[in-house]
Structure 1
Amino acid sequence: MNVNVRAAVLDAGRALGVPEPVTETFVRLLRPCLYLCPYDELPEELRKDARPAARAVGYPHLPEDVEVPAYVPHVVTIDCAALPAGVLDIDFPTDGHLVILAEITDQDEGFIIHLPAGTETIERRSQSKHHEAFPLYAVPGMTRPAFLRWSHVAEAADYAEEDTERARLVAKLVDEMGEIPGIRWRYDIQLGGYSRAWHNPVEQRGKVLFASIPESETFGDGCITLISGTRGQIAERRYDELDFDVES
C-alpha cells in the first residue's frame, strides 16, 4: 500500500469526522497498479534517472517463428525488468519483454506474447503500423472499485445506519477518495488494479484486470481496451485465454 495514498485517505476521513476504523475499510479496498506514461507526464520526483519501461506503437520486435495477423498493430512492448518491483498484486512477469498487439478502436481481438530475456527478435515491418514508436515510463498508482458504493461496505453501512448526516459524510469520503492524486484515474496504459470500465467492469465477471489501453497514440480519451482474465490464467501466463473488450 502506497503510504502517501493511505495517509491521504485517512486525513480525508478525519477531516470529515468519519471514524478511522470505517475509513480503514475503504483503504483496504484499494488495489495497486502501474501506469505507463510519456516522459512529460512523469511526476517531477520520478524524472531524475528515469528509465523507459516500455515502447509504444511502431513496429513490433518478434521472433521469426511467431505468427500474428499482419493487420493487428503493435500497441506496446513492456520491459518487464524495468517495472518497479513489488507494486502489483497480480503475477506480472519480472523478466523479458511482454508484447501486446491489438486493434484498440473497435475490435475485441488481440495478442499477448511474453519473450524471455535473450530471445532473438526481428522488426516485423509486415505488421500494421499506426504511429512512430515512443518510450513510456512507469508510475505506481492506486485504484478503487469503479462503482464503489459505501452502502455495500459493511462497516460503513453499520456506522451510517438510519443516520442521514453520517451517510452524507461517508458518501463524501468516497467522492474525495476519487480526487486523491494517487487514486485518480489517469488516461495512460494501466497494468493491474481495478478496471475503469464505463459500463461493464471486468470484476463483475469474476475477472481481474491485466492491462487497460486507451485509444490514440497519446492515450487520451475515446475507446478503452480492457484485457482481463482469472488470477490463475495470469499467473500461469496463459495469455491466449485472456479477454480483450473494447468499451466506448
Structure 2
Amino acid sequence: MDEGTIARLADEHGVPADVAGELAGLLRPCVFLVTYEDLPEGRRADARPAGRTGGLPSLPEGVEWPEGVPFALAVGCAALPRDAIDIELPLDGQLLFFTTFRYEPEDSAVLHVPTGVPTTEHALPKELDGQEAVAYEPRVLYPVPGLTIDHDWYNAPAAAAFGDGGSDRHEVLDRFVEAAVDSVPGGSPSNSVAQIGGFSNQWQVPPDENGLVLLAQIAGNGVDQGLFTLNLIVGAREDIAAGRWDELQYEQQY
C-alpha cells in the first residue's frame, strides 16, 4: 500500500501518523480465489481464471492420487498476480490440493505439476473419506489481489498505546484497519473460496506463527456445499520456496 493512501485513510479515521505507519508495516498481500459471481464489478471485464474447485485431477505418469483424500482445488501458478504474493511459489504449472472438509483430515497433500509434463485425468478412486467416492463440484475461480493484516496488530506498541486512550479508539482502529485492507484498487471480494498467501483469516488460534507462513486456506463451504469448515495449509518459507510440499502442515478449524 502506498504512503499516500495510508496518510489519507489515517486522516479520514483520526489515526495518528505513527500508528498508521506501524499498521501499514503489518500488512501482507495475498490473492483471493473467487467465483465469477463474487468478483468485484470493477474486475469482471478482464477476468481470467486462475483455478477451480473439484472435478478430477490431471496427474503425471507414476503419480498416484493421495490415498483416501478428495481432490479439492487446482491453482494455476502463472495466472496468479505475482506482486500480490510475498511467498515464493512455482512460476508455472499447477498446485493441486487434496483434502477433506467433512471432519478433521487425517491426511492431506499438495502436489505441483509443472507445465509441459504430460498428464492424464485420473479416474475417481472407489473410496474417499472412508466412503464411496464422490468428486467435489467443479467451479471456476478467478484471482483478486488483496491485503491482510497481522493477527496481533492491535498489540503493536503504537496501536496499543493509542487504543489505551479510550474505548472509542478501538473502534477507530478497527475502522481504519478495515479501510486499509479494503483499499486495493478494483475492490476486494466480499466472499472467497480460497486465499493464497498473506495472513490467515483463522477462526481459532492462527497456525501461521512461529516461523510458519500461510500457503493457502480453503473454505469448506466453497468446495463442499454446506460444510462450514476452514482448512489451512502452512509451512516454512524456505520449504515452500524449495517445493518441499511434504513438509507442509494442515489444520482444520470450525
Counterpart for residue 227 of structure 1: 233
1:202, distance to aligned residue in structure 2 (A): 1.5
Is residue 12–residue 176 contact of structure 1 (8 Å, CA) maintained in 2?
no
- Whether the 8 Å CA contact 1:88–1:192 is kept in 2: the answer is yes
| 2:29–2:145 contact (8 Å) kept in structure 1 | yes
Give the 5 Å matches for 1:98-137. 98-106=95-103, 107-127=105-125, 128-137=133-142
> Amino acid of the residue matched to residue 108 of structure 2?
G
- Residue in structure 2 matching 1:52, options 40, 49, 53: 49
Displacement of 1:57 in angstroms is 0.5
* CA displacement 1:70-109 (0-9 Å, x = unmatched): 4211111111111112210111222111111111332142
Normalised by the length of structure 2, the TM-score is 0.84
Distance 1:108 1:243, change over 3 A: farther
Instruction: Give, as a single letter, the amino acid of the residue that structure 2 aligns with 1:124.
Output: H
TM-score by length of 1: 0.86
What is the letter of the counterpart of residue 164 of structure 1?
G
How big is each residue's C-alpha offset from its partner over 1:119-176, in whole Å with a ceiling of 9 and x where there is no partner? 1111112344433312110000001123432xx2123345x39x634x742x223311
Please report how far the alpha carbon of residue 203 of structure 1 lies from its aligned counterpart in structure 2 after TM superposition: 2.9
1:30 and 1:164 map into 2 onto residues whose CA distance is 24
Which of 198, 201, 216 is residue 203 of structure 2 equivalent to? 198
| Alignment match, 1:62 | 59
Name the residue aligned to 2:175: 176
Rounded Cα–Cα distance in structure 2 between residues aligned with 1:145 and 1:174:
14
Q: Which runs of 5+ in 1 are unaligned?
A: none
Instruction: Give, in angstroms, the shift of residue 191 of structure 1.
Output: 0.3
Residues 153 and 159 of structure 2 are in contact (CA less than 8 Å); yes or no, is this contact kept in structure 1?
Answer: no
Q: Report the alpha carbon displacement of residue 179 of structure 1 after superposing the two structures with TM.
A: 3.3
Write the distance in 1 (CA, Å) between the matches of 2:13 and 2:241: 40
Q: Which secondary structure state, in structure 2, belongs to the residue aligned with residue 235 of structure 1?
A: helix
Q: Which amino acid in structure 2 is aligned with residue 155 of structure 1?
A: A
Match of 2:70 in 1: 73
Partner residue in 2 for 1:238: 244
Contact in 2 for aligned 1:103/1:110 (Cα 8 Å)? yes
Matched residue SS, 1:140: strand
Unpaired runs of at least 5, structure 2? 126-132
Give 1:90's match in structure 2, choosing from 78, 87, 90: 87
Deviates more, 1:194-203 or 1:34-43: 194-203
| CA root-mean-square deviation | 2.5
